[in-house]
Amino acid sequence: MVSTFRKLARRFGFDISPFPGSAPHWERLIKTLSIHNIDCVFDIGANTGQYAQAIRTNGYAGEIVSFEPLSGVRATLEEHAARDPHWTIAPQTAVGAEIGQVEINISGESDMSSILALDAMAHERLASTRATTREQVPVTTLSSILEAHTSGAQTIFVKSDTQGYEDQVLDGIGNSWDRIAGLQLELSMQPIYDGQPDHLPLLNRLAEKGFRPHLVIPGYWSRHFGRMLEYDAVFFRD
């Protein structure tokens, strides 16, 4: 997600660089998961498995269940998981507020594909991320995933990287919030999709459920504007 955002920001005319001190974030994440006894990670928006590979390489030894709706990247995802007996690839599905079908806008850069359309500014300036085609896929909910993939003994962490669809993913938790120990969300300080919330409503929503940020992973900082463009936040109950 990081390299893609760098390319996008440059097309917006930003001069950006990684925020100083971001390099140890995987070590910090794994330590945070360990402190909270996480033994099952739901990797929602897995793409080709970059996140799962990173947490495994950095020491996470528990179960991983990856969810990816795009048929075009699933072969690579399955190849990456094939030699890891504790990494499961779920059947093809998006994750949202309700069970059904949904159309995904497939971007020229696969990890920028989204159920949401690019907003007017992004559509004008980010030609390579415009939808080149669309794909109809099933959509399920986190509540259904929790019922299908876990036992009551597991301590579950949900990572969601769904390109602006995080609020819909949270809607799909329903009455199952008590089954989730922690979450990691990609939060935007400059939305680029129609209907994408910025970070503040999502922070407030999680606070209402008792979740507080325990780790912030900086994304990219614009030298031109002197501001952060996006970041990941890891949440647990205090």
Per-residue model confidence as pLDDT tens digits over 142-155: 999 999 887 766 89
Per-residue model confidence as pLDDT tens digits over 67-92: 999 888 899 999 999 999 999 999 99
Query: What is the structure's pLDDT at 178?
Result: 95
Query: What is the structure's pLDDT at 192?
Result: 63
Tell me the Ramachandran region of residue 215: left when phi exceeds 0, alpha when psi lies from -120 to 50, beta otherwise.
Answer: beta
Per-residue model confidence as pLDDT tens digits over 17-66: 444 333 589 999 999 999 999 999 999 999 999 999 999 999 999 999 99
User: Could you give the residue ranges of the DSSP H alpha helices within the chain?
Assistant: 2-11, 25-35, 50-57, 71-81, 120-125, 142-149, 166-171, 199-208
Nearest of 203, 201, 207, 198 to residue 216 by alpha carbon: 203
Helices 25-35 + 50-57 axis angle, to 10: 80
d(Cα 126, Cα 229) in Å, to the nearest integer?
A: 16
pLDDT-above-90 percentage for the chain: 51
For the chain, give the mean pLDDT.
81
Query: What is the structure's pLDDT at 149?
Result: 81
Domains and CATH numbers, the chain: 2-103+136-237 (3.40.50.150)
Tokens representing 111? Answer: 């990890």
Per-residue model confidence as pLDDT tens digits over 208-219: 999 999 999 987
The least confident of 80-89, 152-161, 204-213, 225-234 is 225-234
Nearest of 43, 100, 40 to residue 67 by alpha carbon: 43
